[in-house]
Structure formats: C-alpha cells, structure tokens
Amino acid sequence: MFEKTEKGMWWDEGSKLVEGCSKIGKSCENCWSLEMEKRFGGDGVVKIFPKRLEKIMKRKKPTVFSIWNDLFHPAVPEKFIDKVYGMMLANPRHLFIVLTKRPERMLKYYNTVIETSAQVGEPALIDRALNIVIGTSAGTQIELDMRSDLLKLIPVHRKMKMLSIEPLLEQISLNLYENRPQGEKIARPVNGGGFTGKSIGGDIREVPGFGWVIVGCESGEKKRKCDLRWIENVVMQCQRARVDVFVKQINVNGYVVKDLDKFPGLGLRFREIPNYLEHKYEW
C-alpha cells in the first residue's frame, strides 16, 4: 500500500468521482484538473460519476484513493455525497482522502449526518471512520485562515484531518493548534469491527488540530513563484507541532523537483506519512 512516495505522490490512485468545478481563490487559478478536462473536451460544468464507485468497490488490493475534484462543490447533490460515504464506509480495506476547498459544506454535511443518526438512535459512523481522511487545501494565508478553522470544527479525530498547502504561494502561518476539552474520546478500532472510545483525560490544552500536512510548489507552464524558505517554514511549523509533513515538490531556479535526493538542504527533505495510511493507529 502507498508505494509512490518517492515520486512525490501521497496517494495510490486518484478517483474522479466528480468532474468540473469552479475556481474559488488564488490557489485555483491554474487548476491542473480543469486544465486536463478542457484538453479532453470538458466544459468545466460539474458532473457526477456514480459508476466509478463500482470500480473502487471491485478493487481487492488495499489502496489509498484521493477523491477528485471537489466532492463538496455546491453543485454536487447531497444524495451523491451520501453514496460516496456509503461506499467508503463499506470498504475499510481502502483508505480515502477527501480534500475540499469548501469545508463549510463538509462541516454542514457531517453535522447533518450525525444529527440525523442520533435522532434514530444509530451511530453515524462517518465521525469515527478510520479509513477516511478529510482535508482542506490552501495556498495563501487568507485561504488557510478561512478554511482550516472550519475543518477543525468537523467532529472527526484530529489525526484524521489534513492540510494540503499546494500550491504554496506565499509565506504561511499554519495555525496548527486547537484547544481540546477535558476527557476527549479517541475512536479506536476493536477486534471484530466496531469502535471503542478511551478517555485521554487532562485539562483543556492546546494540541495540533491536524495529523498531516502536504506542501509543494505549483507545476505547469504557468507556475508561480514558490520560495524554498516558505516551504522550509511550513516544515519547521509542522516539526514544532509534531505533525507529519510531506514535501511533495519544490521549485529550484524555475524547475519543479520531485526527487527528494535532489532537494537542496536537509530542511526540505521530509516525506513523513502518518501511520494510519498503513492501517496502524498509534496515537
């Protein structure tokens, strides 16, 4: 599982369950996904592809799937989001990474599912799934500030949340910490399925709100500046907070470099991977 990190890839396979999107901020400006769709005749209008769920379900080999494009785009019907989550929960051998630039809708979705389940006396499951990593992506401070606090509010264990800082377009302060109340429960898998909760106790304290940060420069013909010091700074912030950090690619004199051995300076050579990507939950 998860064999392509040396190429800067932090997933095994991308699954385009949604095609089309609309740009929402500076980091979307040169969106690679929309560009590729355009090349193959796409019109950018949001479309869903339920049949592609079957392909994932048929895959026997445990795989880390990155769900593309933005599942929480306002044009994606809620019923389809339900289907995607149903599929992910029913296939725990795979791990799914769901990134959105619309965490406000993701938060609303999680809260609705949890409330609805509580009303009928059933566990929601999505809040304790150990094969679904949720995240948001940002390339500028303003994008990060708008999105990361919303992600922190989603009632999922903080280790199962991530930030994708790509393309990094300026120096960013990650604001990695959050306050956690006394007696926090951590969802853990138990033998034979299901979950148990263990109180970790203690006073209100500051802890990292995320388990993983990906950072990288922009690629492509229109790539924008990405200073190596900005990347180093992101790495340092993660190290200080003990959050795993994965440097996907850097821009050296106008060239995009993915080979870790060719990264100048040890401060950039970080390809850390959270243990849950191998179904090991040690936290």
Q: Which stretches of the chain bind ligand SF4, using CB under 6 A?
A: 21, 23-24, 28, 31, 33-34, 69-70, 101
3-state secondary structure string, 28-53?
HCCCHHHHHHHHCCCCCCCEECCHHH
HSE-CB for 141 with a 13 A CA cutoff: 6
Pick from 210, 220, 209: which is nearest to 249 by CA? 220
Q: Minimal distance in Å, beta carbon 42 to ligand SF4?
A: 12
Q: Minimal distance in Å, beta carbon 58 to ligand SF4?
A: 26
Q: Across the chain, how many H-helices and E-strands are there?
A: 6, 14
DSSP 22: -
Q: Minimal distance in Å, beta carbon 220 to ligand SF4?
A: 12
Q: Tokens 């965490």 label which residue?
A: 103
Q: Minimal distance in Å, beta carbon 27 to ligand SF4?
A: 7
Q: Minimal distance in Å, beta carbon 23 to ligand SF4?
A: 5
Between 102 and 158, name the residue whose CB sits nearer to ligand SF4.
102
Q: Tell me the H-state helices in 3-159.
A: 32-39, 51-58, 78-89, 103-119, 141-153
Between 138 and 277, name the residue whose CB sits nearer to ligand SF4.
138
Q: Minimal distance in Å, beta carbon 258 to ligand SF4?
A: 19
Distance CA 221, CA 186 (A): 45
Distance CA 41, CA 38 (A): 5
Between 36 and 57, name the residue whose CB sits nearer to ligand SF4.
36
Between 28 and 238, name the residue whose CB sits nearer to ligand SF4.
28
Between 91 and 137, name the residue whose CB sits nearer to ligand SF4.
137
Distances (CA, A) of 25 to 75, 79, 162, 235: 17, 27, 19, 24
Between 135 and 208, name the residue whose CB sits nearer to ligand SF4.
135
Between 80 and 281, name the residue whose CB sits nearer to ligand SF4.
80
Q: Minimal distance in Å, beta carbon 70 to ligand SF4?
A: 4
**Strand 18-19 and strand 205-208: pairing?**
unpaired
Q: Minimal distance in Å, beta carbon 68 to ligand SF4?
A: 7
Distance CA 120, CA 129 (A): 19
| DSSP element (H, E) containing 272 | none
Between 101 and 157, name the residue whose CB sits nearer to ligand SF4.
101
175: which strand partners? none
